[in-house]
Structure 1
Amino acid sequence: MDKSTQYKIFNDPIHGFISIPKGTILRLIDHPWVQRLRRIKQMGLGYLVFPAAEHSRFSHAIGAMELAQRILNNLREKDTTISPAEYEGTLIAVLLHDVGHGPLSHTLEHNLIREDFHHEMMTLAIMRELNKQLEGTLDTAIKIFTDQYPKKPFLNQLISSQLDIDRLDYLKRDSFFTGVYEGSVGIERILKTMRVHKGNIVIEKKGIYAIENYILARRLMYMQVYLHKTVLAADKLLRNIFTRVHHLIDRDHELYYPSPALKFFLEQQPSAHKGISKTMIEHFIDLDDNDVFMSIKYWQKSDDPILADLCRRFQARTLFRTTFLKKNKSKRLHRQVRAKTRDYLKSKGLPHDEHAASYYYSFDESYSEAYRYESEGIWILEEKDKAVEFSKAADTKNIIALTQPVVKPYVVHLKAFDVEQ
């Protein structure tokens, strides 16, 4: 049989030509629930700062699956036994690892479903529904995804760990599309030096500097991209739009919804406390970035002046400003920002009471952690039977510094005034 008929080829700007095996995996890729990821931006509102950062969760999922294929093939070459079922199950788990993301990825994750919701819960619920549709062919993938496959724990580590496939792809991909090349990672060396030791993923000693570069790249991407001050301001504006919508709904204010799926989550405010219901899944898979953008476009004409103003700001990219603070907020600083905000709103003829002003400023703090070694580290194989945690194996002192979390307090506020610290 001609092997070219057994695969479908994708051309990816990051990893080159990607061969997708036909069968269950291709059926999943073609499934509407996976195709929906084409309509969800990988970096949320990052495109408002980095114009080319329009890439989707779909391209990331395909790219991550390609890395999984390379790693599994490499491990097999190093005499790690991986059965065909385990191989396919791992690829499926990697392909679907982000299928539970909602519109604009992380930005609205906690605005649509209440009580301790996180996208992994929806991912697992969707995987289980897909498993029913495909008559149990995702059983192994689900066990690997949930770390319930005790035979080979390293398979789950490829999906979720300090050095997982998800991070390897998104760092390389996001670096490329933002043009922030400091975030570029030497993926090939990491892949080639991975191996299994006592059931766990380790890195051969010759890959230690590639790991150092990976951790440093992660720190730089958080500082320059993911926690960019304008991204923080855009995220806060979007969240405040939906906070205002919830406020209006609670007061029976009539709103127009161009998206029935979004209307369900805003009006019903479902909770994840008792799990993800089938009804929640049915509405969730109809949601993508378009639902949010279309709603904001319509709400510019809302008869609520605050909602209309916030939406017009978003549409015109008239964003708030983020000012990083030298220390945590004080009562004096809070009073200053609140007073200046109210004065500005009054001058523009907008509601300017304390509640109205709260939609135009916010105190928060950014948090980034490039490498967490205490609970789950990266292990370096120094000798034939000895693996050492990376921070102890590295021969450079700056790794210890990279293990320290970076917490930066900030205030998001109107650009009409400066914050006096």
Structure 2
Amino acid sequence: MDKSTRYKIFNDPIHGFITVPKGPILRLIDHPYVQRLRRVRQLGLGYLVFPAAEHSRFSHALGALELGQRVLNNLKEKDTTISQPEFDGTLMAILLHDVGHGPLSHTLEHSLIKDFNHEMMSLAIMKKLNQEFDGALDTAVSIFTNQYKKKFLHQLISSQLDLDRLDYLRRDSFFTGVSEGSVGINRILKTMRVFKGNIVIEKKGIYAIENYIIARRLMYMQVYQHKTVLSADFLLKKIFDRVRYLIDSGIKLDFASPALQYFMKKQPSAKKMISAEVIDKYTQLDDHDVYLSIKLWQNNPDKVLSDLSFRFLNRRLYRTSFSDRKFSQSAIKKIRESTLKQLKKLNIPEPEKNLEYYLGFENSYSEAYKYKNKSIWILENEKAIEFSKAAETKNIIALTEPVIKHYCVHLKEIDAIV
């Protein structure tokens, strides 16, 4: 039998050729739940700043899968016992770790379902797939939820140095053109070992880890929390706030997507559980549902909704102004007054009532390395040392401190006092 018929090959610009053996994993890749990720942007609204950042959650899932194959094979070469069910289960969990992401990834994560995060949906979808695949995902679900006896397998999926982060840093760096996010993935994977049941890094990989942590900080500053991305996120959320307000007010709205209409009208909650109906509707959603609906809403009779939708579609975004400290009450008052005057010029009805759609005071939070909770461990002389203590540079200690930035999102026509 020709070996080429036993594998499927994906050509990836980040990791090269990704070889997937035919069987349950390839069947999962071909499943509609995973194929939906082709229609969900990895960086949400990041493309509004970085024009080439059009890559999808699907390409990221494949990339993480490839890294999973590499690291598991490397660990086996270092005499770590990994059975075939454990090998396959880990790869399935890695492949499906982001299957619960909704339209535009993180942007609308809390706008569609109450008391919710995408990991909850990923698990719900994995359990549903497990039923379809007659229990083939039992090990994957156990590893994903950290219930499996070999804890290091879960650490490959969720930790301070998991395969998800290793792939998205390199991938996002490539597609945004922000070279500071480039990470020495191969060296990190090659220096991974299992020590006393946990993933550790051999000392020769310490500089690659330093680069990884610095890259995370720089990518947050330059990409994930870019001022224009924050502005676009704010505007999109305000569109959905307005839609929900209009629905609650009994005003009939057109939707290009029945699935999106379901979430905006029903406002389901995931506090107790995620129902089969919610899973069914959610897995019908992707970026196109959002854009087609917003294209309809820009012609809505409601002046606020049409204005917000037009701004979003045509990149007439707000401005983001950062501050080293919280905005004072006097500054907030002046910015509010300036915004109200501008809204009157723009003929926005009831400026006082609708001010919230055009002005916001927020803060961003980033932490490059959370050493107090899920540490990275360096193996030195057969002893595991927490990374910030093993690193030879004091700069890493500074990177363990969270960065909180206060900012104001406002109309470009006014100045924010910072």
TM range (shorter): over 0.9
Residue aligned with 1:324, SS: strand
User: 1:209-288 to 2 correspondence within 5 Å?
Assistant: 209-288=207-286
Return the alpha-carbon distance in structure 2 between the equivalents of residues 363 and 193 of structure 1.
Answer: 44
Q: How high is the TM-score relative to the length of structure 1?
A: 0.98
Distance of 1:327 and 1:390 partners within structure 2: 31
Quote the residue 2:120 is aligned against.
Answer: 121
Q: CA deviation at 1:254?
A: 0.9
- Give the letter for the 1:35 counterpart: Q
- Letter paired with 1:123: S
Give the TM-score, by structure 2 length.
Answer: 0.99
Over residues 233-267 of structure 1, what are the superposed CA-to-partner deviations in whole Å (9 max), with x where a residue is unaligned? 00000000001111111101110011000000000
Post-superposition Cα deviations, 1:38-76, rounded to whole Å, max 9, x if no partner, equal 000000000000000000000000000000000000000
1:418 shift after superposition: 1.0
Residue number in structure 2 paired with 1:147:
146
C-alpha deviation, 1:352, in angstroms: 3.9
SS at structure 2 position matched to 1:112: coil
Q: Following the alignment from structure 2 to structure 1, what is the Cα–Cα distance between the partners of residues 175 and 223?
A: 11
Among 400, 403, 407, the alignment partner of 2:400 is 403
**Identity between Structure 1 and Structure 2 (%):** 67
Post-superposition offset of 1:351: 1.4
Amino acid at match of 1:287: L
AA aligned to 1:374 is K
Preserved contact between residue 127 and residue 138 of structure 1 (Cα < 8 Å)? yes
Q: Alpha-carbon deviation of 1:12? A: 0.0
Q: CA RMSD in A?
A: 0.7
The Cα of 1:349 is off from its aligned counterpart by: 1.2
Q: What is aligned with 2:389?
A: 392
For structure 2, the residue ranges without an aligned partner over 5 or more in a row are none
**1:338 equivalenced with 2:336 (yes/no):** yes
- Distance in 2, matches of 1:420 and 1:202, equals 47
Q: Equivalents in 2 of 1:65, 1:81: separation in Å?
A: 20
Q: Helix, strand or coil: the match of 2:357?
A: coil
Q: Which runs of 4+ in 1 moved over 3 A?
A: none
Q: Establish whether residue 181 from structure 1 lines up as the match of residue 179 from structure 2.
A: yes
Aligned length: 418
Deviation at 1:311, TM superposition (A): 0.2
Report the residue type matching 2:361 in the other structure. Answer: F
Instruction: Tell me what 1:13 maps to.
Output: 13
SS at match of 2:161: coil
Equivalence for 2:86: 86
Q: Is the 8 A contact 2:343 2:351 kept in 1?
A: no
Aligned equivalents of 2:329, 2:228: Cα separation in 1: 25
Whole-angstrom distance in 2 between the partners of 1:218 and 1:243:
31
Match of 2:409 in 1: 412
Give the aligned partner of residue 311 of structure 1.
309
Offset, 1:350: 1.2
> Following the alignment from structure 1 to structure 2, what is the Cα–Cα distance between the partners of residues 362 and 27?
45
Q: In structure 1, list runs of 5 or more residues that go unmatched.
A: none
Q: Residue 99 in 1 paired to residue 99 in 2?
A: yes
Deviation at 1:84, TM superposition (A): 0.4
Distance across 1 between alignment mates of 2:12 and 2:167: 12
3-state SS of paired residue (2:67):
helix
Contact 1:65 1:95 in 2 (8 A): yes
Are 1:367 and 2:398 counterparts?
no
The 8 Å contact of residues 202 and 381 in structure 1, kept in 2 or not, is answered as yes
